[in-house]
Amino acid sequence: MKAITVTASTRPEIVKMAPVIRALQKHSIPFTFVQSGQHYDRNMSQQFIEELELPTPDYGNEVRTSSQAEQTAQVMTYMEKLLERVTSSLVLVEGDTNAVLATALAAVKLAVPVGHVEAGLRSFDIHTPEEHNRRLTDHISTFLYTPTATSKTNLERENVWGKIYITGNTVIDAVVQHLPIAENKSRIMQKIPFKEFALATAHRAENVDDITVLKDFIAAFHEAPIPIVCPMHPRTKKRLKQNGISTDNGNVQVLPPLGYLDFLVLMKNCRMIITDSGGMQEEATAPCIRKPVLVIRRSTERPEAVAAGFAKIAGTQKSLILQAMETTLKNTGQLPLTSPYGDGDAAERICATLENLGFG
C-alpha cells in the first residue's frame, strides 16, 4: 500500500496540516508524520500539536540556528536521511518556509514525488525569503494544491510541470473545526483588560530585523487609536532586546507566544488585526472570524483577501499604519460573508486526489 510522509515545521504549517492529517485518518490513508524542526521552541510547535489533538510525530528534528543557509541545510540533511529509511510514495509539504524547501529538495533528490499544499502564492517581492521558497518548491513539486484560481493562474503563467488542483486553503478548514473548541476551552479573554482592541503580530525577518521598521511598529502601537494586544514572537522579542526598544506603554499589552486556541479567540473578539503574517490574513476571512486586516508589509501573497475587502496593505511606516487604523475604525461597511479561500473542505479535496492516485 502506498504511504505518505506528512511534514510540518512551524505553527502555521501544523495548523494547516491538521485538517489534512484528520482527513488522511478518516480515509484510512497510511502516513508518517514528521516534525521537520524549523521551530524548536515548545510554544512554537509541540504546544500546537497537543492542542489540536494531533498524533505525536513519528519523527522529530530540532534546528537551532538563525542562519537561513544553515537552517535549510540541516533540515535537508535530516530529511534526506529519514526518507532513505522510511518508505514513502509521496511527501506532503505546506507553505513557504526554509524547512518546506529543504524537505522538497531532499525528496526530489531521492526521486520521491512532492505534493505542495498551498501552492501558487506570489507576493512578487523577491526580497522576501518566503517568495524564494514557495517559487522553488512549486517548480519541483509533482502535485500542486492551490487555494484559489489566482494561485493556479500564477503557476500556469510560470509553466510549472506538476499537476495543479484548486482545493481551497486548509486554514479555513482549521478555523471552522477549531473555533468552537477554542471558545469552550480558552480563557485568554480573562487576561485582556480592554473592551475593544486590535490584535497585532510581527515576526518576518525583513521587518523585525530592520531596526527602523521595528521602531516604527512599536511607536505605531504606542500611539494607536485603540489598545493593542500583541502576542510576542520570540524573534521579535529578541530583536527588541538587542536594540533596546521598550514596549512599556499603557496602550500595549504584550503577551507570550500563544497556543492556537487562544489565538482564535483573540481574532474572534478583536476589532481589527494588524500583522505581517500570511496565515492570519487568511484566517480573518473565515465566516466565523470576519475581521479587517492591516498588512504591515510592502506586499502580500494573499491578494484575494485584499480584493475581497478583508485586507489592506498598510506598509511599514508609523504614519501609514496609524492612518490605516483610523480609516478602518471609521469604516462601518460589512465584510463579505464568504471567504475567498474556500468553504472548509480543502483537506477532503486533497484526500480525494490522493485516493484517485491509488493511496488508501
Q: Which residues are catalytic?
A: 203
| Phi then psi dihedrals of residue 41, to 5 deg | -70, 130
H or E element at residue 33:
strand 31-35
The CA distance from 303 to 116, in Å, is 20
Residues 6+ apart with CB under 8 A from 42: none
Indicate if the alpha-carbon torsion angle 71, 74, 76, 82 is positive or negative: negative
40 in helix, strand or coil?
A: coil
Closest CA to 283 of 264, 304, 258, 262: 264
| Cell reading at 133 | 521558497
Please measure the distance between the N-terminal and C-terminal CA atoms of the chain and give it in whole angstroms.
7
What's the chain's Rg over C-alpha atoms? Answer: 20
Q: What residues are paired with 60 via a beta bridge?
A: 35
Question: Which helix (H) or strand (E) is 261 found in, with range?
Answer: helix 260-269
